[in-house]
Structure formats: structure tokens, C-alpha cells
Amino acid sequence: MKSCHASYWLRIAVVAMCFGVWYTIWTSNIPAYYRIKPSDSDLSSTKELPSQLLKPHRNITKPLSSDLSVLRLNTNGYLVYDCSHRWPGSCGGWSDRISGILSTYVLAILSNRKFLINFDNPCKLENYFLTNSYDWRYNGTLLGKKPSKNYHLKDDNGRKIMKVLLTAKSTQPIKDFFTAEVSFVRINWDMTREFRKFLHVENYAPWITRLHFADIYRYIFDLFFQPKPFLLNILDTVAKSKRTNATFCAHVRIGRSSTLPKDNVRTKPEAAHVIMDFIETIDKSKHDLFLATDSDDLQHEFSTKYSKNFLLNVPGRITHIDQTKTGDVCDGFQKQLLDFLLLCTCDKLVICESGFSMMAAYWRDITEELYCWTRQSVVPCSRYTVHDFFPLPLLGPPR
């Protein structure tokens, strides 16, 4: 009887131990944002140097192991987001390109292809960012003479693949859409809405069904991009010149001006008085000031008006990465990246009707003190409500 009793408890102990091992393995493979719902305090950021703020540190957007395992397989060829000089045509601005990277990445998962980024227009993206969880760098030498094809899905051409997503009952039509072993895709659409309507997308990219737009983009940044040390060193130099403990920042996109004469009209220069009036309400004895803009004239006006206060300056020339073709275009591209990264660390941030602004708000860790600039006023908003203020499809053409 004692032997049977001991055997019984031994079996119970073995079962319990096996369950414990299985549970540990299972929970370790579940992304953090499935296990713990982050609070605002979890997402808030301490006031540290930009290099410390921009190191991978977020928990809500850890990459899914299933995503990475699919992308590392080469069962069905390559899907390459392409913004390069290898074929002509516009790529759009910074936010257009990030939207294109997002869409191409999900299409690569759905078509069971390896995802790569070929970005050298105006300058190589890998000169500014390290790969993070996944090596996305395109290397033409490694791919050799594999058959390739260009897919121009920018602007209205993007409706072709959108139709496939909305009508397909399996991933096969998506696989059939990209016929070449190496398929280069140029796209500026954010197709999140279409991906969410694709049948059984939860089996391939479940995060796109569960995350808000803001956290989807943070997922993409955290998955792929880590600023190189030299960029962080420049931002550290800017931060070390601060005279206060807080930074007030604004992004103002004017569009067509003497700086960018071929750009579309975005905002009338005189409308910038709304942001200038708002700056007057800021206690400038407690804030350093920073303005990111696409207008030399507005930058000069800002610097002149607030010269008595301490201004943060990011070196470089104001350009548009899709329009400026003369001079040191890499210097202009670097300034845009530095402006963007600095906006992500600001204690108070005003954004305007611009994808560049919205991306900065999405990647920003600080949940408080975000403001949206409208034509009439500057009002409080959040990274989750910016679409209420800027309803136009800034991160994709109209549906």
C-alpha cells in the first residue's frame, strides 16, 4: 500500500513538473504586449539623453517570433521594399516610405517571402540605422542574377494589391500576384485597413489586428531600426547644450515656399501665427525651444523672435528627400532624420497636418503633453487621437 501511495504521488509530481516546464516555455514565447497590458506610466519616459531614450527599450511591441521565422525562410523568393536609384520614380517623403515598408513587410509575411529593404534614394538607409531584430539590408551581390520584376504600387496603382487582399480567400492570390523570385515593390500606402479585412490575417500577422495604428508603427521601428551611434552622438551634443530640464518642440510643414518651390501647398505661411501664439503661452524660462520645419524663412523668423530664449539647433540643410536633387542631399536627409529623432524625445510636442509629425508622435514614448495644431488653434491630443484632428489619409491615398 505504501509503495502504491508513493507511486501515486510520484506520478503527480512528474505531471506537475512537466506542466511547469511547458508553461514556462509557452509564456516565454508570447510577446510582452499579450501578457501585460501597459499602463501610461509604463510608456512614460524618464528625462535622459536622446541616445538613452532611443535605444531599444519598449516592451509593448516586441517582434513576434512567428513573424521572424517566416521572414527568414526563403521558400517563395524575396519581397523587397524599393526606394532606390535602380529604377526611376518618386518614393514620397519619410512617412510615405515608412508606410511602404510596413505594407511590404506584411505582404512578405502573407506571400511567405523573405523581406528586404533597398533604400539608397537619396542615400543608403543602412548608413543611418543599424538592423535591430531582423537584418533587412538588400544586397544585390548576394541575390546574383535571380529573375526580378518591379512592382510600382505607389498612389492609385496600389489599388491593385488592395483588391486582391479584399477578395482573396487564402494567401495563394497574394503569392500569385508577385511572380518574380525577387520582386521589388515601390509603395506609399498604409494598407492596415485592408490587411485587417483579409481572411485569416490573424494566423499570419495577429498584431495588425490588435494594435492601434500608433503602436503598429512603433512595432515597425522597434523591429527594424536602431539609430547609428553617430546620430545619437549628434543628439547628445544638442542635449548637452540644454539650459533647462524640459524641451518644447513643434513641427510646422509649410509645403511650397522659397525653400521647396516644387512642393504642394500645405499651409499658408501666415497660418503659422497660430503656433507662434501658442509658444507665447509656454514658460520659456523652463523650456528650451526647438522647431522642425521645411521652410528656411519660417526657421529664420522663429530664431529671430526667440533669440533671447535658448534654442536647440540641429545641424544641416532643410531639404525634402523626394524633391531636392542638388547640393549635399545626404546632409539634408541626415537633418530630417535628426529632426525626427529629436521630436520623438520632446517633453512638449506640437504636431501639424503631416505624416512626418504623426510618425514622430507614434514613436514618442511620452504620452502626455502632445498637441495638435489646427488652422484655428493648438489643442491637446494624444498619439491615439491624431487621426481625429488630421482625418485626411496622410499615411496613404484616399480609399
Dihedral sign, Cα of residue 210, residue 213, residue 215, residue 220: positive
* Per-residue three-class SS string for 86-134: CCCCCCCCHHHHHHHHHHHHHHHHHCCCEEEEEECCCCCHHHCEEECCC
CA–CA distances in Å: residue 126 to residues 109, 119, 227, 320: 22, 8, 9, 19
Q: Are residues 121 and 247 in the same domain?
A: no
For the record, the C-alpha cell of 118 comes out as: 533597398
Please, which residues bridge with residue 323 across strands? Answer: none
**Residue 69 confidence class, pLDDT cut points 50, 70, 90:** low
Q: 172: domain range?
A: 62-210
Neighbours of 110 (CB within 10 A): 26
Dihedral sign, Cα of residue 203, residue 207, residue 212, residue 216: negative
Query: Tens of pLDDT along 98-155?
Result: 999 999 999 999 999 999 999 999 999 999 999 988 899 999 887 888 999 999 999 8
* Cβ-contact 352, 251 below 8 angstroms: yes
Query: Tens of pLDDT along 169-178?
Result: 999 999 999 9
Give residue 159's identity as a one-letter amino acid code: R
Q: Are residues 82 and 147 in the same domain?
A: yes
93 has a pLDDT exceeding 90: yes
Asked which of 159, 176, 210 is the last residue of a domain, the reply is: 210
* Cβ-contact 137, 116 below 8 angstroms: yes
Asked which of 210, 238, 268 is the last residue of a domain, the reply is: 210
* Per-residue three-class SS string for 380-391: EECCCCHHHHCC
pLDDT higher at 188 or 268: 188
What CATH number is given to the structural domain containing 318?
3.40.50.11350
* 43 occurs within a structural domain: no
Q: Are residues 255 and 320 in the same domain?
A: yes
* 15 occurs within a structural domain: no
Q: Which long-range contacts link 336-339 to residues 24+ away (Cβ below 8 Å)? A: 336/94, 337/94, 337/128, 337/227, 337/231, 338/231, 338/234, 338/235, 338/314, 339/251, 339/292, 339/314
Q: Are residues 141 and 234 in the same domain?
A: no
9 has a pLDDT exceeding 50: no
* 140 occurs within a structural domain: yes
Strands (DSSP E) along the chain, which ranges? 78-83, 114-119, 129-131, 148-152, 182-186, 225-227, 246-252, 287-293, 348-351, 370-373, 378-381
Closest-CA residue to 321 (of 162, 143, 96, 148): 96
Question: What pLDDT, on the 0 to 100 scale, is given for residue 261?
Answer: 87
* 3 occurs within a structural domain: no
* Cβ-contact 139, 69 below 8 angstroms: no
Most confident of 40-49, 69-78, 139-148, 164-173: 164-173
DSSP for 18-48, written as a single string: HHHHHHHHHHHTS-HHHH-PPPHHHH---S-
